[in-house]
Amino acid sequence: DAGVIQSPRHEVTEMGQEVTLRCKPISGHDYLFWYRQTMMRGLELLIYFNNNVPIDDSGMPEDRFSAKMPNASFSTLKIQPSEPRDSAVYFCASSSGLRQFFGPGTRLTVL
């Protein structure tokens, strides 16, 4: 298996633009997580899904952030409009049990 796949790996955009991050979980996994990592706040959970249904979005910072999982093999995290403080590395992880498998992350820079 190729592991968790994220795209793009790097994204540079200007303030006010819409940003969409993509994630393909490991086949057969029924949990999908989105995390954000910054120097100031460390690694924090934004939202997670179980069987494509959002279970807990309490970590989503504000309404500018939204996440979807239309099917078991694809999820998106969208920021609209983006702001410089959204600059971070965004990780997607998937799980079918006790272990979580993380993707390589998307490094987002908002100018």
Partner 1 sequence: DAKTTQPPSMDCAEGRAANLPCNHSTISGNEYVYWYRQIHSQGPQYIIHGLKNNETNEMASLIITEDRKSSTLILPHATLRDTAVYYCIVRATAGGGGNKLTFGTGTQLKVEL
Interface residues with partner 1 (CB under 8 A) are 4, 31, 33, 42-45, 48, 50, 55-56, 91, 93, 95, 97-105
Least spacing, CB of residue 98 vs partner 1, in Å? 6
Return the sign of the alpha-carbon dihedral for residues 32, 50, 72, 20.
negative
- With contact defined as beta carbons under 8 Å apart, do 59 and 49 qualify? no
Read off the amino acid at residue 3.
G
Least spacing, CB of residue 53 vs partner 1, in Å? 11
Q: How far apart are the first and last CA of the chain?
A: 36
Q: Which is nearer to partner 1, 33 or 65 (CB)?
A: 33
- Residues 106, 1: Cα–Cα separation, whole Å: 20
Return the sign of the alpha-carbon dihedral for residues 23, 24, 26, 28.
positive
Q: Which is nearer to partner 1, 81 or 100 (CB)?
A: 100
Q: Which is nearer to partner 1, 4 or 77 (CB)?
A: 4
Least spacing, CB of residue 97 vs partner 1, in Å? 7
Least spacing, CB of residue 41 vs partner 1, in Å? 10
